[in-house]
């Protein structure tokens, strides 16, 4: 209590600012304001949802289930019915490089789990699908050696 009283007095005298007045919290108890409502206006490139549905349908017809084409993760296997039909669709030709006249084929799409998709887009230059597969094969082989 004595320490808190000293901090309050120092703050009242203008000797410390508000942040210095508060006791330090353990790292796992750090806090910050979140949840503010903001508005954002931005431009984005349109994606054809119909192509994505067709990609998933064709994949299901061929493989009888959806799974990540890079790491083979299967949401139904892991999460049951809740994971049914869940998989992200990645454009092998970056959408950011397409123009209004560009055409995308179903063969330009690959199904990726969110982790693999995020890794592809984590840093520029983005990984190609082939580079992602090579990275996964390399790390899988290394972990089997260890």
CA separation for the pair 66, 60 (Å, rounded): 6
Give SS3 for 48. Answer: coil
The pLDDT assigned to 146 comes to 65
Q: What percent of the chain has pLDDT over 70?
A: 90
* pTM recorded for the entire structure: 0.72
Q: Is residue 10 assigned to a domain? A: no
The verdict on residue 120 lying in a domain is yes
Q: What is the mean pLDDT of residues 109-130?
A: 96
Instruction: Using the Cα atoms of residue 51, residue 52, residue 54 and residue 55 in order, give the sign of their dihedral.
Output: positive
**Cβ pair 8, 21 in contact under 8 A:** yes
Spatial CA neighbour of 71 closest among 114, 42, 36: 114
Any bridge partners for residue 111, and if so which?
89
pLDDT value at 134 more than 90? yes
pLDDT given at position 144:
74
What per-residue confidence (pLDDT) applies to 18?
A: 63
The answer to whether residue 29 is domain-embedded is no
In 3D space, the residue among 105, 111, 146 whose CA is nearest the CA of residue 132 turns out to be 111
* Band of pLDDT at residue 76, cut at 50, 70 and 90: very high
Give the model confidence (pLDDT) of 81-108 as tens digits.
Answer: 999 999 999 999 988 888 888 899 999 9
- Rounded alpha-carbon distances, angstroms, from residue 56 to 51, 60, 101: 9, 6, 24
Is position 18 within any domain? Answer: no
**Residue 57 lies in domain:** 49-145
State residue 14's pLDDT score. 73
**What's the pLDDT score for residue 103?**
92
Chain position carrying tokens 């309050």? 8
Give the chain's domain count. 1
Is residue 7 one of the residues assigned to a domain? no
pLDDT at 111 over 90: yes
Sign of torsion over alpha carbons 76, 105, 90, 143: positive
Provide the pLDDT for residue 3.
76
Taking only the tens place, the pLDDT of each residue in 12-70 is 777 766 666 566 666 777 788 888 998 989 888 888 899 999 999 999 999 999 999 99
Does residue 6 form part of some domain? no
């Amino acid at each position: 209590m004595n320490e808190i009283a000293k901090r309050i007095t120092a703050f009242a005298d203008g000797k410390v600012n508000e942040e210095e007045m508060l006791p330090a919290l353990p790292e796992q108890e750090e806090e910050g304001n979140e949840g503010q409502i903001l508005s954002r206006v931005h431009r984005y490139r349109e994606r054809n949802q119909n192509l994505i549905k067709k990609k998933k349908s064709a994949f299901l017809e061929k493989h009888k289930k959806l799974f990540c084409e890079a790491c083979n993760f299967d949401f139904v296997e892991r999460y049951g019915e809740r994971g049914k039909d869940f998989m992200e669709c990645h454009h092998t030709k970056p959408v950011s490089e397409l123009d209004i006249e560009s055409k995308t084929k179903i063969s330009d799409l690959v199904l990726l789990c969110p982790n693999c998709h995020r890794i592809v887009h984590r840093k520029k230059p983005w990984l190609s699908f082939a580079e992602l597969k090579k990275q996964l094969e390399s790390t899988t082989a290394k972990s089997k050696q260890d």
